[in-house]
Amino acid sequence: MEQKKRHIAYKIRISDLLDGEYIKKSGWESSYIKTRKNNVSRVNIMAFIVGKETEKDLLVIDDGTGYITLRFLPEDVKNKEIQIGDFVIVIGRPRVWNQEIYIVPEILKKINKDWFDVRKQELKTKPRKKKKIKPTIKEKKPSPDNPYETILKLIRKLDSGEGAEIQDIIEKADTTNTEKIINNLLEEGEIFQLNPGRVKILE
């Protein structure tokens, strides 16, 4: 009956990740990078591909603040035509090998450069906004009326290709705390912000 806790996929600059301290945990506890702001066990990074070694199963990404390696790529990523210069969004877990921090990606998708530019601006102002989007809803009830699933279905319905307007979601949602649910989905990496006021599901 008990659900395994899903860690937040923090939106973070590569430089902040590389400047952090890797904390190795034992057993079922998740290891994490201790940064100035958070203990980060999952990341949500937008960057562009600057290196690719197919035989070694790795990619190198750069977000303008630093570069980091992606290792142990998922099968669906290996089969994609991802090339140097492509802009991507990465959801994954930071790890350390030979004192080098790298990322094991769970999801890697191509994105438009405009979304990358939006993320850069978002991270510039994030320190001021952080407390406003602090997640307060932690439990997702495993029921047919799960409000998280309701919001995700509504976003899919409203998204015609360019994302869904947050205001439309709030007006049409038959749930309470809609804004908080949207903020939590953003923090967990289930959705991302294309531009101010518009979100899209990461699929």
What are the 10-residue block averages of pLDDT along the chain, 203 residues in total?
Answer: 67 94 85 92 95 84 93 74 90 92 93 89 60 42 66 90 88 86 81 79 72
Q: What is the pLDDT of residue 104?
A: 94
Q: What's the CA gap between 103 and 59, in Å, rounded?
A: 10
Q: Which fold has domain 135-201?
A: Arc Repressor Mutant, subunit A (1.10.10)
Multiple choice CATH, 9-115, 2.40.50.140, 3.40.50.620, 3.40.50.150, 3.30.465.10: 2.40.50.140
pTM: 0.62
Q: Are 66 and 58 in contact (CB under 8 A)?
A: no
The residues spanned by each domain of the chain are 9-115, 135-201
Q: Are 169 and 183 in contact (CB under 8 A)?
A: no
User: Residue 141's CB: how many other CB atoms inside 10 A?
Assistant: 10
Q: What is the pLDDT of residue 78?
A: 66
Supply the angle between the helices 147-158 and 178-188 in degrees, to the nearest 10.
80
Q: Which residues contact 11 (CB under 8 A, 6 or more apart)?
A: 44, 45, 119, 122, 123, 126
Q: What's the CA gap between 108 and 202, in Å, rounded?
A: 10
Q: What is the pLDDT of residue 76?
A: 67
In 3D, which of 20, 122, 117 has the Cα closest to residue 68?
20
Phi, psi (deg, nearest 5) at residue 179? -65, -40
Q: What's the CA gap between 193 and 44, in Å, rounded?
A: 12
